[in-house]
Amino acid sequence: GVTKKADFSNGPFRWLTVASSDEPEGTELQLALNDNPAAKSYQQAMFKQGQPAVMLFTDDIKGDHERIKE
């Protein structure tokens, strides 16, 4: 699961981050709506080029895969 870390609003904008429930002081992910036309065009162009939207690094891919499957 995830734990909400930050949730701030400023007019129509919102900043929301979450972290793993198992490691709430670990890495936070920022969640955002994809409602900006310029950002959406950029994302679609990068996808068409085969550019990944996110890259993750690990020292134990098999162990991480087993934990994610659970």
Lowest mean pLDDT among 5-9, 35-39, 54-58: 54-58
Residue ranges making up the domain that contains 9: 2-69
The pLDDT tens digits for 18-35 are 999 999 999 999 987 778
Give the model's pLDDT for residue 8. Answer: 92
SS3 19: strand
Give the model's pLDDT for residue 13. Answer: 85
pTM of the model: 0.53
What is the average pLDDT value for the chain, to the nearest integer?
A: 88
Q: How many domains does the chain have?
A: 1
60: domain CATH number is 3.10.180.10
Q: Distance between CA 41 and CA 13 in Å, rounded?
A: 20
Amino acid at 35: D
Q: Nearest 5°: CA angle at 55, between 50 and 61?
A: 115
- Per-residue pLDDT band for 45 (boundaries 50, 70, 90) equals very high
SS3 8: strand
